[in-house]
Structure 1
Amino acid sequence: LAEIGIAFFLFIVGLEMNFSKFMKLGKTIFLTAIGQIVITFIFGYLVSLFFFDSSTSFIIALALTFSSTMIVVKILSDKREIDTLHGRIIIGILLIQDVVAIFALSFLQSGHLTAPLIGSSIIKGVLLFSATFFVSMFIIPLVFKLAAKSQELLFISAVAWLFLVSIFSHLLGFSFAIGAFLAGVSLAQLDYSFEVVSRVKPIRDFFSIIFFVALGMTTVPSIPTFAITPIIILSLFVIIGNPLIVIIVMGLLGFSKKSSFLTGISIGQASEFSLIIATQAFLIGKISQTALSIVALITAITLVATSYIIKYDDLLYSKFSKILSVFEFRKKKIYELAHKVENHFDAVLFGCDRIGYSIIQTFAKLKYKFLVVDFNPEIIQELASKGISCLYGDFEDFEIIGKIDMKKPRIFISTIPDFRGNVRLIRNVRRMNKNAAIFVTATTINEALELYEKGADYVIMPHFLGGEHTSYILENLKRENISQRREKHIEELKKRKLLKQEHPAR
């Protein structure tokens, strides 16, 4: 039953995996993720060697390399930070970790990795991938098109496909988990994937509970006294070491200390994959029950700790902000990306992506002299290449504010949905420029009302703007111009697609 829970969990991971979005994330996320995985594994292995043999140390280091996709995405969603810069980077890192974890699982059952065995595994893996995706491309769409006429039949077909691929994977010498993941990925591009996910999740949750309960029943009684020290040391390594590795790597890539910090602390925990890898290793005799229990306890400790750390990330950042400046290795070089920063601007825009893109176009039409401030170095490089006045940095950074003459601009706009940051921006602007119009962004009604109380002239609420714009179109609707609006909108969407802009993740 526990293994069925793992299968359903990985099936949904595959269903929700968006590889097209992964391709848009760029080299920054790839380098950060690979750097974190490699460095965490090396350090984890070296630390584990002080307490265990090389084989057990290898499995423990591998298990502690991965972070919890379910927990982190849930917390980011609750905090409405999935679509922020650090939110997108975190999700990209987690996606790469999930892919690496799947490959790690596929080799766990191979015993000693000799050259012939690796070659055999690769051949079998290619066969499994090829067969699965051949069927998913030419047969599955037809089957699910018929099955979609009934919600119950759609659900049964999805579960049947899950077990069919899992059994085929097992016959080839791989685990059921690998087959379940591939079954999910093969259905991810179907139009019915949303319905399948919603139907399968309750079953996944039920069997996942059985998996965790079964694991917990074998954990605590088997922990000897000598294991307490490695549990404490390895837990601290995951909670502190993982974030530190990410902060250093992102600092080297040119990101601000805030983006690096918020990304780093979000992956300072072990994951569901840690438990799955350790369990699989135990079942095939690669590690002892004690080692499995150690991984389980480290996972539990780090998951609880990181939940509170992420919850209070802004407070922690304010406490450690000065110390974090040490990790902005390319700060001077990045500031050199600033393009045409002069003493006078009509408007200053903080945050340039989807909303900021439209605002820039309006500024250009109005012939405003404007400055864009953003903490994504890739966006700054793109703006500079177009000759747009821009400055790299965080709008909460006093050094950045000091580079701008806050007394002269008539308009300040923040498209960044950071409540505390926007409050500080309003306070700073009002202190130096009482007549300027201030536009800020919020994601909840309570935040918007409070920002108005703090002195904002207008609060942008992206989730409501669509309805307001549609109402405006309806009020001015004319038969002769609706087709023109349609064509104009299609052209605008194509431009945004070329700029790799997307609607927020589901």
Structure 2
Amino acid sequence: MGFQNIIFEFVLIYAGAAFFATIFLYLKQPVILAYIGLGIVAGPGGLGLVTEPDHIEKISHVGVILLLYLLGINLQPNRLYHLFSKTAVVTLLTSIVFLVVFALAALAFGFSITESIIIGAALMFSSTIISLKLIPTTALHHRHTGELMTSVLLMQDVIAIMLIVILSGGEGDADAVASVIVMLFVKLIVLTIVAFGFIKYIVNNLFIRFDTIQEYTFLLALGWGLLGAGTAQVIGLSYEMGAFIAGVAFASSPVSQSIAEHLKPLRDFFLILFFFSIGAQFNFLVTQHVLFAGIVISLLVMIIKPIVFRLGFKLIGEGKDFSTELGVRLGQGSEFSLLVAYSAFASGLIDVHASYLIQMVVIMTFVLSTYWVVYRYRTPISSTDKNRMD
């Protein structure tokens, strides 16, 4: 991949995104869908202007990292502990229900038992980026919504990582699986302790010493978030988990909120790439073999997830309307679904059609869920003043 080709792709993506976003805003449509639409048009399944979207997706992952980092900055540690203890039951129970329902649906369309279980497992998870990108952070109501969603999504991330590790390792015995799970939690605890110590004894002192130099404080905050993400990935966790832990640790810093505001434009820059890459990976020609199954299961996801999440949140004492909103906001597939599909396909556990089915359901639910949330609830990207709130 040459330098000139990367420049061309960036020109295409950002100029094209501006053009598509303008049209979508005039039509009062969500701008996220403009970026996905551009990816579909310009990607390999469309005009072929971008033939290898994988490297764009990898670069765009910085946006997801910054999204989780900024969410962590807005959560105090004691509050986070309370949320995790509150939502653990909801996350586990809903995951089991989703696994069973979507596996049975896949089985009904002729997939094998193993493939159906993996399809069900892949579709257990909700999208971190869609759910949290559409949450306003200013109002108290939406801050509580974001906190509960974040705790559920992060617990889902832990489950997803365990699943991916198991799938990538093939068929291990029970002791090996148990060892993987125990080590995962040990790594989480150690990383959290190290992050808080690093903030307390090093990072905060550097901010105090050089707080008048804005360029340096911005660089230090950005470097810290990316360091947390990279460290987590190296030790076998995920970029998202590391970024979130780095953010929660940084939340105790007196300058955390002002720094967070400066990082938002950089986050949005990379998220445009992410949504473009999602669209660019969609190919109508290769998904036509599972088109009907994909449409039916996508609709099933959109119906079942909001209902089950609504019941789950009511179980822990949340109000009816609030639980309904949370269910709708979490009613889609996940980025981790794509990773589960890739790991299972690489291990020979599912065939190409099962992998395409998972990809199709994820992308379709991304689009449908975005429409549903944007037109029903307040979001930062609404095309109407009534529902727009950052």
TM-score normalised to structure 2 length: 0.64
Amino acid paired to 1:103: V
Distance 1:100 1:222, change over 3 A: farther
Tell me, yes or no, if the aligned pair for 1:262 and 1:313 is still in contact at 8 Å.
Answer: no
**1:173-322 mapped onto 2 (5 Å cutoff):** 173-220=236-283, 223-249=286-312, 258-270=321-333, 274-279=334-339, 282=342, 285-286=346-347, 291=354, 293-310=356-373, 313=376
Paired with 1:55 and 1:189, the residues of 2 have a C-alpha distance of 46
Distance 1:277 1:183, change over 3 A: farther
Q: Cα offset for 1:21?
A: 4.2
Paired with 1:169 and 1:156, the residues of 2 have a C-alpha distance of 20
Which residue number in structure 2 is paired with residue 47 of structure 1? 105
Query: Rg: which structure is higher?
Result: 1
Q: Cα offset for 1:174?
A: 3.6
Tell me, yes or no, if the aligned pair for 2:95 and 2:124 is still in contact at 8 Å.
Answer: yes
Q: Cα offset for 1:241?
A: 0.5
Which residue number in structure 1 is paired with residue 157 of structure 2? 102
Show CA shifts across 1:342-399 (max 9, x none).
xxxxxxxxxxxxxxxxxxxxxxxxxxxxxxxxxxxxxxxxxxxxxxxxxxxxxxxxxx
Amino acid paired to 2:357: I
Greater fraction strand = 1
Amino acid paired to 1:279: L
Show CA shifts across 1:286-311 (max 9, x none).
56665554344323322333344345
Paired with 1:25 and 1:129, the residues of 2 have a C-alpha distance of 17
Paired with 1:212 and 1:194, the residues of 2 have a C-alpha distance of 26
Amino acid paired to 2:293: P
Paired with 2:62 and 2:340, the residues of 1 have a C-alpha distance of 12
Tell me, yes or no, if the aligned pair for 1:10 and 1:184 is still in contact at 8 Å.
Answer: no
Amino acid paired to 2:335: L
Give me the CA root mean square deviation. Answer: 4.0
Q: Cα offset for 1:240?
A: 0.7
The SS at the match of 1:269 is coil
Q: Cα offset for 1:49?
A: 4.0
Distance 1:14 1:34, change over 3 A: farther
Alignment gaps of 5+ in structure 1: 315-444, 447-504
2:60 aligned with 1:5 = yes
The SS at the match of 1:114 is helix
Length, aligned pairs only:
311
**Amino-acid identity (%):** 23
Q: Cα offset for 1:283?
A: 6.2
2:126 aligned with 1:67 = yes
The SS at the match of 1:230 is helix
**1:78-477 mapped onto 2 (5 Å cutoff):** 83-84=140-141, 90-107=145-162, 108-109=164-165, 111=169, 112=172, 114-220=177-283, 223-249=286-312, 258-270=321-333, 274-279=334-339, 282=342, 285-286=346-347, 291=354, 293-310=356-373, 313=376
Alignment gaps of 5+ in structure 2: 1-55, 378-384
Q: Cα offset for 1:31?
A: 4.8
Paired with 2:106 and 2:220, the residues of 1 have a C-alpha distance of 44
Report 1 or 2 for greater relative contact order, CA contacts < 8 Å, sequence distance ≥ 6.
2
Paired with 1:89 and 1:29, the residues of 2 have a C-alpha distance of 13
Q: Cα offset for 1:22?
A: 4.8
Distance 1:158 1:77, change over 3 A: closer
Paired with 1:214 and 1:191, the residues of 2 have a C-alpha distance of 36
TM-score normalised to structure 1 length: 0.51
Show CA shifts across 1:170-214 (max 9, x none).
432344444333333322332222233233333333333333333
Which residue number in structure 2 is paired with residue 393 of structure 1? none
